[in-house]
Structure 1
Amino acid sequence: MVPAVGGGSVPATSPAPDQDPDEQGVYQAFPGDGFFVSGKSSPVIRALAERLAAGGYLARGRVGSAWNSALQHGYSRWQQHLGFRGSDADGVPGRVSWDRLMVPAVGGGSVPGTSPALGQDPSERGVYQP
């Protein structure tokens, strides 16, 4: 089990390796290492910011669509919550911390209301089957 946003825990394998969350339309696929650059604007960044704010890692007033230092600081807090330290908690999303945050899918692939409640094991809501 690993910590979930806002407390609680989720299985260490979530999202399940054999189940691509993007294909399921439930979670946003990791956009890649070079995606998070200063000033970049995207609905994916907004979904990330909203998820961080819901967990208390980012002030609600800081939620926006552009990657900036406030969002990077909030993500660093999330990484630290997961146990990352030093340069591993630099605030730039990596695949492991991204997958554990379970950012809801955006755009045509989203399924409204299927992102797990913060602190709730997603399997309890039938979001995915491990």
Structure 2
Amino acid sequence: MRAIGVDVGGTFTDLALWDEVRGALAVFKLPSVPRDPATGILEGLKTLTGREGVSPDSLTFVAHGTTVATNALLEGKGARTGLLTTRGFRDLLEIARQKRPHLYDLQADKPLPLVPRHLRHEVRER
């Protein structure tokens, strides 16, 4: 088995190649390409497999992880988003559940909704 793992972060893209045939683990790190993460992934795959003399066709498993979406949410840099919901449920995600760190703390702060109310629209059914 030959497996490769790719972790795309905001600063670096890390790759790890496990070659069970040779019993070897090889790693490679390169700068991420925030505007086009696939570019960094493909460049890293090409470099790492070439350096190790492994054909990309021989890979039997690929795992991919990223913090790109999490970072976009935390930094507020995501795309403008709308939400369609069943009629009567427009505010459900903002109302949320009663579960909170301190059940009887009525002053608990809630995070801002990911989709502002004016971009949430109800439809008769989904």
For the criterion TM > 0.5, the same-fold answer is no
1 or 2 for the larger relative contact order (CA 8 Å, sep ≥6)?
1
Superposition TM-score, scaled by structure 1 size: 0.24
Larger radius of gyration: 2
Superposition TM-score, scaled by structure 2 size: 0.24
More helix by share: 1
More strand by share: 2
